[in-house]
Amino acid sequence: MEFKPVLRFASISDVHIKDHPSIERERLAKALEFLSAYTDASDYKRLDAVCITGDFATSGTETQMQVTKDILDAGMRPETRLLITVAGHEFNGESGGMPAAYEKLRRIFGQTPDVHTVINGYHFIAVSAEEIPEKGRNNFGKFKQAWVENCLAQAVEDDEERPIFFFQHPHPTNTCYGSICWANNDLYEYLAKYPQVIAFSGHSHAPVNDPRSIDQKDFTSCGTGSLSYFELDDFDKIYGTVPPNADKCAQFLLVEADAEKRVRILAYDLISESFFPQVWEIPHAWEKSEFIYDSHRPGSECAPRFADGSELKISNVSAGAFDITVPQAKIDAFYVNAYYVRITDEKGRKVKTVSFWSEYYFADMPSAVTQRIEGLEPGQYYEMEVWATGFWGKKSTNRLYGGVQL
């Protein structure tokens, strides 16, 4: 569709600036450099806001907060608004907890913990997390709930159709990918009243190019990735929730709106200096009947398949262990999510099933994935059956087979 922006902002989360020089400092500076270059090359030559939704510091020290401010000052143009909130990592106990984080936010950044502002006619609402004794960090108490409810009502009274951009650190529960463990439900009931809300959140470090990182049920919820490391929200992988090479992670969202109140969201990868191919388009955010980003979205029915001639490769065989290399399967929409390897002994008895990701979260996704499998009995013969899965559990239409003598 022809799209002429009248609003542009970046949504960034989980930078994790440290006391000492680290790659995260370089990535934040590089993100701002890219945003300036993108803006200069666009017909709409403004970046209206940079929105950072918490955990920009690793432990909330004075140094980390000041370094973040210095990077932002050096990389942002005067006309660009900064909306920045604090969350659990800024509340590190050694740094003074939530009161100290709020104080540093005001003193160093000149920002209040909670912000409701209008930019180019669009309402922006950003709320900092709280540390509540009986609940812990990354929660929102009764006062903040009432504040959010009031801000949302004001925005809708101003224009009942115009999208409302909302920012909190933890994902709203049971929305976008990552919202199983890295979520909070305190504000959901207020957001759910207004389908025109487009909410941005982090906390999970989930990949922005995972199609489940946008979700529409009662409103639109988007995960904003991380500039530090990946963590995923599946619990059956051989290496846990943090994949190998997790620090090869620098992703965020670029959001634009036009005069017709249409919104498009692009996912950017700093490592490869490229956009991911998907563009999330929301033509009428206020029309809940038009929501498509759910588990039944176009493409969710697609199942992976291995290309003809695909074969497993077994290498580095040792006592009770081996490497298995799986060629990437194909799929007609999105990416292949993961692989499963069922291992049986020579009598056909199941020994174990292991799973690992396809590494779809890397823009330079490899043509094959290698995984070390250990804990088997030396001297035995094992057979393997391998299948691929999509993001909504569709298994590959064909499988690969192999065997190994240990």
pLDDT tens for the chain, 406 residues long, are 689 999 999 999 999 999 999 999 999 999 999 999 999 999 999 999 999 999 999 999 999 999 999 999 999 999 999 999 999 999 987 888 999 999 999 999 999 999 999 999 999 999 999 999 888 899 999 999 999 999 999 999 999 999 999 999 999 999 999 999 999 999 999 999 999 999 999 999 999 999 999 999 999 999 999 999 999 998 999 999 999 999 999 999 999 999 999 999 999 999 999 999 999 999 999 999 999 999 999 999 999 999 999 999 999 999 999 999 999 999 999 999 999 999 999 999 999 999 999 999 999 999 999 999 999 999 999 999 999 999 999 999 999 999 999 9
Show the CA angle centred on residue 376, arms to residues 367 and 358, nearest 5°. 20
> Rounded to an integer, what distance in angstroms lies between the CA atom of residue 18 and that of residue 21?
7
* SS3 call for 85: strand
| Residue 11: strand pairing partners | 51, 253
> Rounded to an integer, what distance in angstroms lies between the CA atom of residue 176 and that of residue 294?
9
Distances in Å between the Cα of 332 and the Cα atoms of 291, 336, 364 are: 22, 9, 18
Helical segments of 159-246, H only: 188-191
Whose structure tokens read 């906390």?
203
Distances in Å between the Cα of 337 and the Cα atoms of 208, 293, 340, 353, 392 are: 14, 17, 10, 17, 9
Name, in order, each residue with C-beta under 8 angstroms of 158's C-beta and a sequence gap of 6 or more. 118, 123
> Rounded to an integer, what distance in angstroms lies between the CA atom of residue 169 and that of residue 204?
9
Name, in order, each residue with C-beta under 8 angstroms of 82's C-beta and a sequence gap of 6 or more. 49, 50, 52, 72, 76, 109, 111
